[in-house]
Amino acid sequence: MLNWGITDFYMHTFIYQDLASSFEALIKDEVFKVGDKLPSIRMLSKERGVSISTAFKAYLELESKGLIEARPKSGYYVRFSPKHLQNLSADIYPEEGSRIENVDDLIQSVYGSLDKRAEISLSLNVPSTELLPVAKLKKSILHVLRNRSTQSLSYEDVRGNQLLREQIARLSFNSGIIVKPQELITTTGCMEALNLAIRATTEVGDAIAIEGPTYFGIFQAIESLGRVAVEVPTHPVSGVDLNALEDILSTRAIRACIFMSNFSNPVGAKIPEADKERLVRLLESKAIPLIEDDIYGEMYFGSQRPKSCKSFDRSEGVILCSSFSKSLAPGYRVGWIIPGRYYKKVYKIKFHQTISTSSLSQEVIAHFLTNGRFDLHSKQLRRHLYIQSLKYLQAVHEYFPKDVKVSQPQGGFVLWIELPKPYNTLDLFQRAIQHKISIAPGQMFSQQLDLSNYMRISFGAPYTAEMDWAMRVVGELLSPT
């Protein structure tokens, strides 16, 4: 067992934040409904036994989330509750459709010339650079250039930078995983980790079960390696349908599964802890490897990071893949893989394929994790993302047709939106791009389902006046003429 001397990962909250969270829960449960007046600051101070300053800060916190508003000479009133929005049903799946032959062309249309055609992107699923610790990362770059420039010019160990692997091992403890640095390998982003896992567990022609819908890069990777993707129906709230998976496993020879365990892309689902364990046990009983993509696990909005499926692994049959692309530095392309019993295969493929991951990027990330307070940065990032999710949800409520349904994510970066038919989000994309606004049409995320009336909007960028304009324009394009 490693002795890391880990301190508290979950930082203490201030009294005003606890007070604000209590009111937020009451607003969400509609104890306080939209339009209701909240207790005055003086009354709140007296009733809760807190200072006037603490009561005022609590209301400012709620106001920053767009849940309440101050009315001059009148007080504070409830402005918005997510209860206003129609939730995506956890029991209804998109209809199956004929195989979409032009998904790659659609993806290229959305992302291939994005810089030329769109000035405002609602489609890029990454955190804005405004939310990243740019100054501290610059310090880490300077430190590496001054003190480790020679090492950064050389090939790194195939397994990856030693210090970085030690830091990743510590970070993995948050998700319930106890792993030694020598049991993981760094990669060029999460996609390389997934490609390594696919090649280590399957052969050309093998069938791999994935979520439907899922991130398009996953089925592109499967097809590029000559494997066959089989989509499993997925709840927009609780993730992959385990009953449907069992049915598929009984009728098809599935050689591996690739699932996102926490805050999946594009639907934002989180597999409940009990279902994660059930999933691991199910695949364990059939000797089918689970390739777990947990790239969004650190982006939780609750009080504690959700566990990974890997944390329930008893037979080393779960391969965990992740990266820092969503939490720290998208452009550095630093990820990792915990291969379990497939370690030797993954190591060999990594050596033959790329030899090693970029030395400089690994050195910089390793230095930041050691000295840059990643835990503090992550907490601040999660808070910003949560507030932004509420702002974008409010815009959907205010600007979009009233019969749309939208996810209410508990983490991650995305809203998954269902429009009533005959809305077509590919057509919406073509019209929005004329205004230099980009969205992600639903059909990008499946080759077997009819997602023509779905779309994904990212809330990774702060909700500025420019973003408000973009959401309003998209809403107007959805309104009957």
Amino acid in the structure at residue 278 = R
Give the three-state DSSP class for 209.
strand
Helix axes 273-285, 242-251, angle to 10 degrees: 10
pLDDT, residue 231, reads 96
One domain for residues 396 and 267: no
Q: Say how many CA atoms lie within 13 Å of 262 toward its Cβ.
A: 24
Average pLDDT over residues 91-99: 59
Residue 110 has pLDDT above 80, yes or no: no
115 band by pLDDT with thresholds 50, 70 and 90: low
Residue 309 forms part of a structural domain: yes
Q: How far is CA 76 from CA 35, 65, 426, in A?
A: 10, 14, 41
pLDDT, residue 9, reads 34
Alpha-carbon span 93 to 246, nearest angstrom: 17
One domain for residues 111 and 229: no
Give the three-state DSSP class for 149.
helix
Alpha-carbon span 454 to 275, nearest angstrom: 26
Q: State which of 350, 371, 392 marks the end of a domain.
A: 371
Q: Which of 314, 343, 365 is nearest to 183 (CA)?
A: 343
pLDDT, residue 169, reads 97
Alpha-carbon span 246 to 328, nearest angstrom: 37
pLDDT, residue 10, reads 37
Residue 401, preceding bond cis, omega within 30 degrees? no
Average pLDDT over residues 213-224: 95
One domain for residues 253 and 362: yes
Handedness of CA 326, 327, 330, 336 (dihedral sign): negative
Residue 382 forms part of a structural domain: yes
Alpha-carbon span 52 to 50, nearest angstrom: 7
Alpha-carbon span 104 to 111, nearest angstrom: 11
Residue 137 forms part of a structural domain: no
pLDDT, residue 81, reads 83
pLDDT, residue 5, reads 34
Q: Answer for the pair 121, 438: CB distance below 8 angstroms, yes or no.
A: yes
Looking at the chain, the number of H-run helices and the number of E-run strands are 17, 17
Alpha-carbon span 238 to 267, nearest angstrom: 10
One domain for residues 280 and 205: yes
pLDDT, residue 105, reads 76
Average pLDDT over residues 108-128: 76
Residue 466 has pLDDT above 60, yes or no: yes
**Chain position carrying tokens 């003190």:** 147
Calculate the average pLDDT of the chain.
90
One domain for residues 55 and 37: yes
One domain for residues 354 and 424: no
Alpha-carbon span 385 to 381, nearest angstrom: 6
pLDDT in tens, 164-212: 999 999 999 999 999 999 999 999 999 999 999 999 999 999 999 999 9
Average pLDDT over residues 214-226: 95
One domain for residues 181 and 200: yes
Residue 150 has pLDDT above 80, yes or no: no
pLDDT, residue 8, reads 35
Alpha-carbon span 158 to 355, nearest angstrom: 6
User: What is the number of structural domains in the chain?
Assistant: 3
116 band by pLDDT with thresholds 50, 70 and 90: low
Residue 101 has pLDDT above 80, yes or no: no
Residue 143 forms part of a structural domain: no
pLDDT, residue 112, reads 66
pLDDT in tens, 381-431: 999 999 999 999 999 999 999 889 999 899 999 999 999 888 999 999 999
pLDDT in tens, 299-344: 999 889 999 999 999 999 999 999 999 999 999 999 999 999 999 9
Across 318-410, the runs of DSSP E, i.e. the strands, are 318-323, 335-338, 405-406
Q: State which of 371, 404, 431 marks the end of a domain.
A: 371
4 or 424, which is more confident: 424
Q: Answer for the pair 425, 457: CB distance below 8 angstroms, yes or no.
A: no
CATH of the domain at 164: 3.40.640.10
pLDDT, residue 374, reads 93
Alpha-carbon span 277 to 29, nearest angstrom: 30
One domain for residues 353 and 294: yes
First to last CA, the chain: 65
CATH of the domain at 438: 3.90.1150.10
Residue 7 has pLDDT above 50, yes or no: no
Q: Answer for the pair 369, 166: CB distance below 8 angstroms, yes or no.
A: no
Range of the domain at 75: 15-83
Alpha-carbon span 294 to 115, nearest angstrom: 29
